[in-house]
Structure 1
Amino acid sequence: MASLNPLGSSLDLRKAKHLLRRATFNYTKEQLDTFVGMSATDAVNSLTADVAYTLAEPYDPLPMEAPDGYWISSPEHPNTFDGQFRKRAYIAAWWWYNAYNKVSLKYKLSFFFHTCFTVAKDDGAGLSPFFYDYLKLLDFYALGNIKTLAKKINLDNAMLDYLDNTQNNKNNPNENYSREYLELFTILKGEQIGDGNYTNYTEIDIQQAAKVLSGFKKQWDRNGNVDPDTNLPMGYAAIGQHDTNDKTFSSAFNNQVITGRDTAATMFDELDDFVEMVFAQEETAKAYCRRLYKYFVKSKISAEAETDIIEPLAQILIDNDYEVLPVVTTLLASEHFYDADDSDPTDHTIGAIIKSPLQLLCEVFSMFDIQYPDPETEQLFFYRNFFHWFITGGFFQPAGMDFFNPDSVAGYPAYYQEPGFDRNWFSSNTIIGRYILVAGILTQNNNYAELDTVLFVENKIDANDARDPNLLIASLTDLLFPESIDTDRTDYFKTFLIEDSDDYYWTGAWLQYINTHSQNDKNTVKTRLDALIIALVNAAEFQLM
């Protein structure tokens, strides 16, 4: 049976790789060395600190003659600034930098919540500061309470704009947001069992929820309302546009009646009653646990996993009033997570997920310690040249991930679309996009990013292993691939080092470089190492985690 019991043995390299990849966006040899030998519980707990931002806020280095700079904290009204599309891109760069530079569950869970409470930054989220507030709200609750986040998201200005709830009034109800809140954000549909009846809720519930949500409006200036818990700007309650009547829900919610309120202050109590009602349903807890399982473990949930993993996790979530960490730490420290709860070789969790372009980018940059412009001293090169042009335009979009801008409110197909799920990252249109990342870094002559493969091998690989092509490949694949490779694959990768020569060709070239450190000798080994690293990163094995 599938087991949530804590892993009994210490983490070896294979399991340490698995945890670090699944739990963070920062994947380094040094962190792997730290994890190896730790218990799974201790390793997971070490990732739960609520880390502070490395970069406090984004910066706009344009226009060149008078940069808008730290426009987010400007006292000027948000709509006085031009270049909102550009600024939203720079906010995404700011978030990535913080996520990439922390060894923490925080940002993995923050992005998970983005897949649950989706906002598309360039498709209705409004002014750039609203998108910034949305990301900060996800970060604030990333290690906290799902139910509380599900309450706060209703007053998030970007969300109010994105799904039109700011236009939802008592005399002209707009059901767009209430529908997505039930169908995509919280309890999910379930099987349709009748006309307008989706098991977990009905069309009547959507209509009643829209009435509860009526009259909540976007606050344009960001200064009128600040949430006392998060200190973030939020929308406001317009009682004149709120349906003050009682709202009666269907049998899916035990025919619960939510009392209508007739003041702006008590509108929030009515909204709170609605969210509490949704989260009182056991199916809501199961829905989040299934999503967490697909995000952290694998996309296919077997009948055994549903009974032995999802149901107990849902109970943990309920018992902890929807605090996310007790569920996630239990899952990531469990025998099941490490595929150590049975002997079935067909249900592996290690290597069972295709990396998103975001994960692929972060692993390449962190493992190879790729140098890129400093966002605090080289703002133009970091925000515009490196992230907006090279990463977003040159990698994310060709690889099929419009970063923080999915093309529908359902989010990225890899996280919801059956039966492919993460396999949706691969298509004839996106596969080349994935493969150009490392080649682009190695071949460009500009200020975007730099990978020195020779320095990487010198600093990260044991000296005796570096000189032997077989041991060098074993060391590299141990770091890069989720599983060990066989002799045939080793021989294939070795051809990039020695071509048609014998092993001593590489040994001689490497020792010549180590003895002289001349530029000519470095160029000789660099040409071979560049080709090898491109082959390894583009190999099928590296696409998995």
Structure 2
Amino acid sequence: MDRRAFLRKPAAVLVAPVAAKPTPAPSAAAPLATDPPETVSRYANTKLPTFSRTSAGLSPYTGPWTRVQAAHLLRRCLFGPSKSAIAAAAGASLSQVLNALFTVPAAPAPPVNVSATDTSVPIGQTWTTQPFDQTFESARRSSLRAWWLGQVLQGSTLTEKMWVFWHNHFVIEFSDINDARYGYQYVALLRQHAMGNIKQLAKDVTVAPAMLRYLNGNQSTATAPNENYGRELLELFTVGKGPQIGPGNYTNYTEADVQAAAKCLTGWRDNATTISGYFTASRHDTSTKTFSSAFQNRTLPNTGDQEYKALVDLVFDQAETARFLVRKLYRWLVYYVIDADAEQNVILPLAQQLQQNGYNVAPVLRTLLSSEHFFDAVNVGCYIKGPLDFTLGLCRQLEIAMPPAASPAVQYGIWDYLNSITNLQQQVLGDPPSVAGWPAYYQTPQFNELWINAVTLPRRSQFTDLMVSTNGTTRNGFRLVVDPVTWVESLPGSVASEPNLLIQAFVEVLMPFPLTASQLAFLNDTLLPGLPDFEWTTEWLDYVANPTNTAKKNAVATKLRALLRTMLSQAEYHLS
């Protein structure tokens, strides 16, 4: 495939189809033949705003700490917080909540085989140490994707959000490398460093077998240096382009720098038996590599299998590398618009902190997430959810029951189904559409608006409607469905029985900010169309007094499902 097709998007992108990577999905979730053509809305941004959004900087936040602020922090750090998580956070201090979010959990056990097709290992045992076999590749890749989504779905720390961030940054595509074992090693590497040192992650990724295969580093020799990885290392992974100063030359690197970087990286290959990168000295360019004034005209002598580390160190010595990385972190966790004030008050000081502490990312993230800027009202509910946020968030916010780990085939089947849902919304875990990642995180000026289009918006609604329907969906004998009665039963009795307090409880979990009085009145009328408030109180208390009475349970469940269907279709629910 052409991994750099993203570079040639025409200026007419506002009226042209948005590229979407076609990915097979289970037939039950396959796109309909009646899907409308995918185009960017004529109402989408044509340019970014130039006015200042906020002058708030990185001073520690000292304002109110309520469920609103707690939920905002958790929404940005997790793939959807539950009501109990929001309540616990609101009852703790900001520092205590951050301590919990920044606790790195133990590495999960590797993915297991759940397919009768893969006969290399029994069901429930890992395939990650087995020899490659093309016959089993599809089943193993599905297992890997399902496992990864399952770990993200179950996670309760910032690690999971950063795990996906690094996948969108140091991109590979499972379908291109065609070895799920390589994919698993890559995924495990990203998780290992998700909250750690970016420079070390860059070094490890450079010689990871998945990356060597994906960007053709395994083909790079002294006589024919392959420039793919060297180019992406500079343009997409570290220092970025900066303004163009000539054909192929940019402020932050030149075409000659790409060529020099490529020479530094020659000699590396991947071993499919040991699942590792290895170095062959006879294939390595032994000359001294000279870089441009963008890198202070520095030179790197031949150091064999250690030379790639020297190259990474050289690139990370540049102040612009820290700024480039911080901008991507900001767009992932805060907002996609970086105006002059945000650049001056947030990006530059965070970049300086990142560089000064040797590219350890956790202290920088903590400074950002505890700042006045992060909690400024303009940064609350301004972010359009991506498909993973939207889909997994619904499962977590409405506490949809999941299969037990004791039934791996059933568990993976549900995770695979959720993957099919995010795929239809154009976010395929393990297969971003290009080496640049998902366009919503880099394509200016639309950015996150790209998640909402004529194809994906109906898909979102179909999923939420299905989950709040009476039957939901069944996979491998397990029913995936929202149980609104159980959700409400976990509320204090005084809240569950009072319709306006009940609606407010749903709002605090599902919406990124308080709704208006007219919106709340509309939701009240949805719950109780044309009826006085006491009707809900009477019906709910009747049910509580007779919980085994099917008719009474169905009466309250029907009203709650109508309420949720309406709330999940509101524009605010698509925001974080």
After TM superposition, the score normalised by the length of structure 2 is: 0.86
Deviation at 1:76, TM superposition (A): 3.5
Residues 133-282 of structure 1: matches in 2 within 5 Å? 133-222=185-274, 233-261=275-303, 267-282=304-319
Provide closer, same or farther for how the CA distance between residues 499 and 109 of structure 1 changes in structure 2, counting only shifts above 3 A. Answer: same
Residues 427-506 of structure 1: matches in 2 within 5 Å? 427-441=453-467, 442=469, 443-444=471-472, 446=474, 447-459=478-490, 461-506=491-536
Q: What residue is the counterpart of 1:543 in the other structure?
A: 574
Please tell me whether residue 30 in structure 1 is matched to residue 84 in structure 2: yes
Q: What residue is the counterpart of 1:342 in the other structure?
A: none
SS of 1:46's partner is helix
Provide closer, same or farther for how the CA distance between residues 373 and 268 of structure 1 changes in structure 2, counting only shifts above 3 A. Answer: same
Q: Which region of structure 1 is more displaced relative to structure 2, 412-421 or 464-473?
A: 464-473
SS of 1:235's partner is strand
Please tell me whether residue 387 in structure 1 is matched to residue 415 in structure 2: yes
Residues 31-46 of structure 1: matches in 2 within 5 Å? 31-46=85-100
Aligned length: 515
Q: What residue is the counterpart of 2:171 in the other structure?
A: 118
Q: Which runs of 5+ in 1 are unaligned?
A: 223-232, 262-266, 340-344
Amino acid at match of 2:403: P
SS of 1:528's partner is helix
Q: What residue is the counterpart of 2:393 in the other structure?
A: 363
In structure 2, how many angstroms separate the alpha carbons of the residues matched to 1:38 and 1:6? 17
Amino acid at match of 1:258: L
In structure 2, how many angstroms separate the alpha carbons of the residues matched to 1:216 and 1:184? 21
Provide closer, same or farther for how the CA distance between residues 214 and 445 of structure 1 changes in structure 2, counting only shifts above 3 A. Answer: closer
Deviation at 1:403, TM superposition (A): 1.9
Please tell me whether residue 312 in structure 1 is matched to residue 349 in structure 2: yes
Q: Which runs of 5+ in 2 are unaligned?
A: 1-54
Provide closer, same or farther for how the CA distance between residues 451 and 246 of structure 1 changes in structure 2, counting only shifts above 3 A. Answer: same
Amino acid at match of 2:406: T
Provide closer, same or farther for how the CA distance between residues 380 and 72 of structure 1 changes in structure 2, counting only shifts above 3 A. Answer: closer
Deviation at 1:5, TM superposition (A): 1.0
SS of 1:236's partner is strand
Q: What residue is the counterpart of 1:298 in the other structure?
A: 335
Native 8 Å contact 1:286 1:310 kept in 2? yes
RMSD across aligned C-alpha pairs, in angstroms?
Answer: 1.8
Deviation at 1:504, TM superposition (A): 2.9
Deviation at 1:102, TM superposition (A): 2.5
In structure 2, how many angstroms separate the alpha carbons of the residues matched to 1:4 and 1:65? 52
CA-to-aligned-CA distance 1:207-262 (integer Å, 9 cap, x gap): 1111111111111112xxxxxxxxxx53000111111111111111111111023x
In structure 2, how many angstroms separate the alpha carbons of the residues matched to 1:216 and 1:69? 36
Provide closer, same or farther for how the CA distance between residues 268 and 2 of structure 1 changes in structure 2, counting only shifts above 3 A. Answer: farther
Q: What residue is the counterpart of 2:111 in the other structure?
A: 58
Deviation at 1:496, TM superposition (A): 2.5
Please tell me whether residue 16 in structure 1 is matched to residue 70 in structure 2: yes
Deviation at 1:279, TM superposition (A): 0.4
In structure 2, how many angstroms separate the alpha carbons of the residues matched to 1:10 and 1:418? 34
CA-to-aligned-CA distance 1:50-99 (integer Å, 9 cap, x gap): 2014x41111221169565466566542x136331332222122122222
Please tell me whether residue 326 in structure 1 is matched to residue 380 in structure 2: no
Q: What residue is the counterpart of 1:354 in the other structure?
A: 384
CA-to-aligned-CA distance 1:281-338 (integer Å, 9 cap, x gap): 0000000111111111100011011011111001100110000011000000011100
Moved over 4 A (4+): 64-68, 70-75
Q: Which region of structure 1 is more displaced relative to structure 2, 413-422 or 92-101?
A: 92-101
Deviation at 1:199, TM superposition (A): 0.5
Provide closer, same or farther for how the CA distance between residues 256 and 70 of structure 1 changes in structure 2, counting only shifts above 3 A. Answer: farther
Provide closer, same or farther for how the CA distance between residues 246 and 68 of structure 1 changes in structure 2, counting only shifts above 3 A. Answer: farther
In structure 2, how many angstroms separate the alpha carbons of the residues matched to 1:357 and 1:409? 19
In structure 2, how many angstroms separate the alpha carbons of the residues matched to 1:355 and 1:313? 25
